[in-house]
């Protein structure tokens, strides 16, 4: 019998499994199931058992096919920056380690391999050992988002405009830290790379800076993932479904295996551009449908995506990540609706 892991891996690599796999990207939501404060997971030290228990508790409640490997925090603590950790909220960096660019020369990308990342890797190991039937996804910040955490996003944007040499230094360092984290977590504990890239947004950067700074970084990371045997999922924000298809084409040509579209994009329009080049991920809007919609609206919107995209390599997700306070019953309804749909 084929496992959920089998279904996800077939779809992300461009196949058409009998059932559309589901991957709702949980960042902290599972902690609502176990009732553990966010502060208890992040300590310090990071608690891998609490992380893994929350992720698997949510999967048990919802039934999705792929899970993240840990409750994730920004990769800045190895560079001397503390996280702000609300008891029921989402961790955030209190500062940016390279807001003073002069300290970058003495920094090593491998400093990302600190106690927190070690704890996260242990969470991956626990999940893999307990549930070999599930796909385990390595969820990391994409190069622009990670670069913004390292430099300060506003400063990085100003660098891209007025000091591209500094911007390229930050982006190169961002890529090196991501690849170091990928190698440290390891392909033996995970099945696919996921690059969470909200600020890799052509509407924010403009097409020119997106091409100049995002695409080269993406190519390097996807190449490293391929060497590890991992397919890459890229999740930018912004509109990719209208106007010129050149930006979307360039994104796909960077070497990604799967493109996740965000809210306010038409999945079928994107599919027409990328069909045959990579798989696609996406689904109901987190805020408009899954948080505030009626059960009927959730089923209807889920079925709309399945009807439009199931003839293609497709993974059902929602428009973005999920956090504490989100209604778990609504997520379970989306998942059960997708699982009832057979090709």
Instruction: Give the pTM.
Output: 0.97
The band of 73, judged by pLDDT with boundaries at 50, 70 and 90, is: confident
For residue 224, what are its two tokens? 């490293």
* DSSP line for 127-175: HHHH-TTSEEEEEEE-HHHHHHHHH-HHHHHHHHHH-HHHHHHHHHHHH
Place of tokens 């306010």: 264
Q: Is 325 left (phi over 0), alpha (psi -120 to 50) or beta?
A: left
pLDDT tens digits for range 79-138? 999 999 999 888 999 999 999 999 999 999 999 999 999 999 999 999 999 999 999 999
pLDDT tens digits for range 28-57? 999 999 999 999 999 999 999 999 999 999
pLDDT tens digits for range 115-131? 999 999 999 999 999 99
pLDDT above 70 (res 244): no
């Amino acid at each position: 019998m084929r496992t959920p892991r089998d279904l996800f891996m077939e779809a992300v690599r461009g196949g058409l499994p009998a059932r559309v796999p589901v991957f709702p990207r949980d960042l902290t939501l599972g902690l609502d199931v176990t009732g553990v404060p966010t502060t208890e997971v992040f300590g310090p030290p990071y608690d891998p058992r609490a992380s893994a228990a929350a992720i698997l508790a949510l999967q048990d409640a919802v039934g999705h096919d792929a899970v993240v490997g840990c409750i994730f925090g920004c990769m800045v603590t190895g560079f001397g920056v503390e996280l702000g950790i609300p008891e029921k909220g989402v961790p955030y960096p209190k500062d940016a380690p390279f807001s003073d660019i002069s300290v970058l020369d003495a920094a090593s990308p491998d400093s990302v391999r600190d106690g927190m990342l070690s704890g996260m890797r242990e969470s991956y190991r626990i999940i893999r050992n307990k549930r070999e039937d599930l796909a385990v996804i390595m969820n990391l910040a994409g190069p622009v988002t990670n670069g913004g955490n390292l430099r300060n996003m506003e400063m990085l944007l100003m660098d891209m405009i007025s000091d591209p040499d500094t911007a390229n230094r930050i982006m190169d360092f961002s890529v090196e830290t991501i690849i170091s984290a990928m190698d440290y977590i390891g392909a033996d504990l995970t099945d696919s790379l996921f690059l969470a890239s909200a600020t890799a947004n052509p509407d924010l950067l403009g097409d020119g800076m997106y091409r100049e700074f995002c695409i080269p970084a993406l190519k390097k990371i996807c190449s490293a993932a391929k060497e590890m045997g991992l397919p890459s999922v890229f999740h930018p924000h912004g509109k990719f479904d209208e106007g010129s298809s050149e930006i979307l084409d360039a994104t796909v040509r960077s070497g990604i295996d799967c493109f996740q579209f965000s809210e306010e994009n038409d999945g079928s329009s994107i599919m027409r551009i990328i069909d045959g080049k990579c798989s696609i991920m996406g689904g109901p809007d987190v805020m408009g449908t899954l948080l505030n919609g009626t059960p009927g609206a959730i089923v209807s919107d889920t079925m709309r995506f399945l009807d439009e995209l199931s003839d293609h390599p497709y993974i059902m997700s929602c428009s973005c990540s999920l956090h504490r306070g989100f209604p778990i019953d609504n997520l379970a309804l989306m998942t059960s609706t997708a699982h009832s749909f057979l090709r």
